A = this chain, B = another copy of it.
Amino acid sequence: MKLYQKITLAGILGLAAVAGADAAYAQDAAPAVSPETAYIFNTLLFLIGGFLVMFMAAGFAMLEAGLVRSKNVSMQCLKNIALYSVAGIMFWVCGYSLMYTGVDGGYIGTFAPYSFDEVGKFATGDGGEIAGYSTASDWYFQMVFVAATASIVSGTLAERIKLWPFLLFTVFLTGVFYPITGAWKWGGGWLNEMGFQDFAGSTIVHSVGGWAALAGALILGARLGKYEGGKVHPMPGSSIPLATLGTFILWLGWFGFNGASQLAWGTAADVTSVSNIFANTNLAATGGVIAAMVLTQIIYKKVDVTMALNGALAGLVSITAEPLQPSPLLAIAIGAVGGVIVVLAVPLLDKLKIDDVVGAIPVHLMAGIWGTLAVPLSNSDASFGTQIVGIAAIGAFTFIASAILWTILKVTVGIRVTKEEEMMGLDKAEVGVEAYPEFARGGSSI
């Protein structure tokens, strides 16, 4: 549940707390938590959730650094810190306002930089009463989400895309595309009015990143030699421990991602919900790991660690559309299906010659669709039809807008390095700094 719905359902958060709105606590007539205390708690939730999600930037960087070949590792590190920076600026320049200001059931918000509360003041409601949280804390929390979306694209297109065109794409993805589809739901736009549900962003964050990545992969083409001679040539990542570290950091960050998407920490009921979300988020991830491990053992007679890692991430993406309502067993099952999707989808993409370096499309796009479809399994007020409308609308917009932009970039500045640069590795070609100058064998593998 995001801001708009929260407000629709419960009025000003602080006031709900004052009114002792929770029936189960009727014996305590007095205001349990003062509006100012609720303001402090809610802001706290955004800041803690925010720094956990911010750290996911490191998680994506390590995951991708571990899964590309050593000759492209510096570039992958550079792209990740650069895209986080671009997202952080663009979501202030226009992204936040496009997504959240004045959407009113429509399609887009306002084009304007975002203003934080004045120093020493705090946000107030229309009647001058204290608002639910500080505006900068909300901005911070939402900003780190859009950065996650951009990270997804970076993984899929690794090892052959040029730096600056990628960052130009990121400018539009984080400043315009993501905010527009986000506005449809979290900004209180038409999909929200229709009843589409996406608690923490299986579709709004993860699938959007996946669609942008898919459009890019199709237009950019596969890495040299990847599908040469009709065969799939494995190009193993350079460091499994870094990929593992990245996965654990992402898992950690997901507690902020899903938990703080409750958007309120000022009542016992809200805090209980956040706790349930923590538990379900963890259970779904474990389901994804175990399912991916068992399935790879059965199919391949070995347990590919990268599948276990991506299984965890797919489990997490799957539960993101609704981490609160499912029972623990359902949470495990939703995550496990995510893990299965990854194991089956990775070879499928290779069959289609779609070259997704880190498996981001199975993890974020496919498991994101699955998670969004799974919401009606636990939520009686959600309908499959509406979920499909939301998935399709957001997917179509993002895919088409991304494809157009990728094409424009391709025919103008170009998006792909030369064959020589790709063979040599992007680190030498564009970064000028090798990731492991003392021990990598460099360009030995294509």
A226 to chain B, nearest CB (A): 16
A438-B36 Cα distance, complex, nearest whole Å: 57
CB–CB A82/B324 < 8 A = no
CB–CB B435/A283 < 8 A = no
A185 interfacial contact with B, CB 8 Å: no
In chain A, residues 209-242, which have Cβ atoms closer than 8 Å to a Cβ of chain B?
236-242
CB–CB B140/A54 < 8 A = no
CB–CB B116/A289 < 8 A = no
Contact of A116 among B22, B50, B271, B279 (CB under 8 A): B279
In chain A, residues 65-92, which have Cβ atoms closer than 8 Å to a Cβ of chain B?
65-66, 69-70, 73-75, 77-78, 80-82, 84-86, 88-89, 92
Q: List, in ascending order, chain B residues with CB within 8 A of A287's CB.
A: 89
Q: List, in ascending order, chain B residues with CB within 8 A of A290's CB.
A: 82, 85-86, 89
Report the copy number of this chain in the oligomer.
3
CB–CB A303/B430 < 8 A = yes
CB–CB A241/B73 < 8 A = yes
In the A-B complex, the 4 residue pairs with the closest CB atoms: A58-B248, A32-B36, A302-B432, A85-B286
Nearest to A324 among chain B residues (CB) is: B119
CB–CB A27/B129 < 8 A = yes
A120-B427 Cα distance, complex, nearest whole Å: 52
Q: List, in ascending order, chain B residues with CB within 8 A of A39's CB.
A: 268, 271
CB–CB A276/B119 < 8 A = yes
Q: List, in ascending order, chain B residues with CB within 8 A of A114's CB.
A: 328
A232-B399 Cα distance, complex, nearest whole Å: 49
A346 interfacial contact with B, CB 8 Å: no
Query: A39-B268, A278-B50 are contacts. A89–B286 as well, Cβ < 8 Å?
Result: yes
CB–CB A120/B22 < 8 A = yes
A401 interfacial contact with B, CB 8 Å: no
A22-B444 Cα distance, complex, nearest whole Å: 66
Nearest to A435 among chain B residues (CB) is: B240
A100 to chain B, nearest CB (A): 15
Q: How large is the interface on A (under 10, 10 to 19, 20 to 34, 35 or more residues)?
A: 35 or more
Contact of A65 among B241, B247, B273, B332 (CB under 8 A): B241
Nearest to A39 among chain B residues (CB) is: B268
Q: List, in ascending order, chain B residues with CB within 8 A of A308's CB.
A: 78, 81-82
In chain A, residues 268-316, which have Cβ atoms closer than 8 Å to a Cβ of chain B?
268-269, 271-276, 278-279, 282-283, 285-287, 289-290, 293, 297, 300, 302-306, 308-309, 312
A178 interfacial contact with B, CB 8 Å: no
Contact of A303 among B51, B57, B61, B431 (CB under 8 A): B431
Contact of A48 among B48, B92, B306, B436 (CB under 8 A): B48
Query: A268-B39, A276-B116 are contacts. A435–B306 as well, Cβ < 8 Å?
Result: no
